[in-house]
Amino acid sequence: MKSKKAISILILIVMVVILIVYGAINRNKTKQSDGKIRILTSFYPIYIMTLNITNGVNNVEVSNMADKLNGCIHDYTLTTTDLKKFETANIFIENGAGLESFTDKIVNSYKDLKVIYAAQNVTNFIYSDDNESNSHIWLSIENYKNEVQTIASKLSEIDEANSGLYNANANQYIEKLNELQSKFKQLDLSNKKAICLDESLEYLLKENNIDETLIETDHDQASISAELIKETISKMNSEEIKAIFIDKNDSDKLAKALQNETSAKIYVLNSGMNGEKNLNSYIDLMNQNYEILKDLQ
């Protein structure tokens, strides 16, 4: 009886292996038969960069992994739909810098998958007191441009036939980003102090010379101690800090608690974690953020 059971298990294992190999062969045939280059991006900011860079390239298809992300990509969990997207992808583009660590195992299992780390040339990271880098870099327009250039350069190396289009699109997009950057440089916020309750907003505030104090909520405001809240209120009152920044996807519970004790104003910014399939969406959301920051002058 045990012998028959062992044989049955062995047959089952062999069948599963055959199915996996057969599926892999079919996936490779699908990749090769239509001649398309299928690019998968990790989440929305990288998706919009890539759409701009690949715009008008006929044999390139771009899809996004975390389509319905609400909150930070740190908290994202891979789905079966994501895994299916990996199966047919030739190129995977992620922010990198430790932001999407949950993809490491799946990426390593696809040996023929080309991986681009958009943040690999960024050097001006913000570090916490415990020397941990903040990898939410795209709300710095300078960093965003850096990532666009990196993606275009790496795609040009992988797909040399379309390198001219990738670089031309990137240059055209960067021209628009330069105009946006010039607009922000007209803001005079160097004497402004603020409390920031979302680390994804830090680069935007720093690039605009706002003296911000990050309260690390770890995306879970319930983890903030009463003592830290008391210290923050004391700091706000003693230094006359009258601005609190949160993201549009954040709860405003902590912000309102601080506001009630300090009479500070709550400013709701857009970190660009999600949105529509629109080539101008980053520029649009940053223009919205500009209008909000302008009110702080």
pLDDT tens digits for range 66-88 = 877 766 777 778 888 888 999 99
pLDDT of residue 78: 85
Segment (H or E) for 39: strand 37-41
| 49, 147 Cβ separation under 8 angstroms | yes
| 90, 113 Cβ separation under 8 angstroms | yes
The closest alpha carbon to 40, from 83, 97, 104, belongs to 83
Does the structure show a pLDDT above 90 at 282? yes
Locate 229 and state its tokens: 């809240």
Q: Could you tell me the residue ranges of all domains in the chain?
A: 1-33, 35-183, 188-294
Name the residue with higher pLDDT: 218 or 181: 181
The closest alpha carbon to 201, from 247, 258, 255, belongs to 247
The superfamily CATH assigns to domain 188-294 is Nitrogenase molybdenum iron protein domain (3.40.50.1980)
Strand partners, 246: 268
Q: Give the C-alpha separation, 147 to 136, whole Å.
A: 12
The pTM of this model reads 0.87
For 109, phi and psi rounded to 5 degrees? -85, -15
Locate 103 and state its tokens: 């993809």
Tell which CATH architecture fits domain 35-183: 3-Layer(aba) Sandwich (3.40)
pLDDT of residue 5: 43
The closest alpha carbon to 155, from 37, 42, 279, 278, belongs to 37
Q: Give the C-alpha separation, 42 to 66, whole Å.
A: 6
* Secondary structure class of 243 (helix, strand, coil): strand
Grade residue 10 by pLDDT with cuts at 50, 70 and 90.
low
Own/partner long-range contacts of 158-161 (Cβ < 8 Å, ≥24 apart): 158/91, 158/114, 159/37, 159/60
> Each residue of 132-188: pLDDT tens digit?
899 999 999 999 999 999 999 999 999 999 999 999 999 999 999 999 999 999 999
Domains 35-183 and 188-294 share a fold: yes
Q: Give the C-alpha separation, 139 to 129, whole Å.
A: 21
> Each residue of 99-136: pLDDT tens digit?
998 888 888 888 899 999 999 999 999 998 888 899 99
Does the structure show a pLDDT above 80 at 11? no
CA angle 268, 49, 280 (to 5 degrees): 60
| 76, 53 Cβ separation under 8 angstroms | no
> Each residue of 230-239: pLDDT tens digit?
999 999 999 9
Alpha helices (runs of H) in 75-201, residue ranges in sequence order = 80-88, 104-108, 141-158, 163-185
Amino acid found at 160: E
Q: Give the C-alpha separation, 177 to 283, whole Å.
A: 7
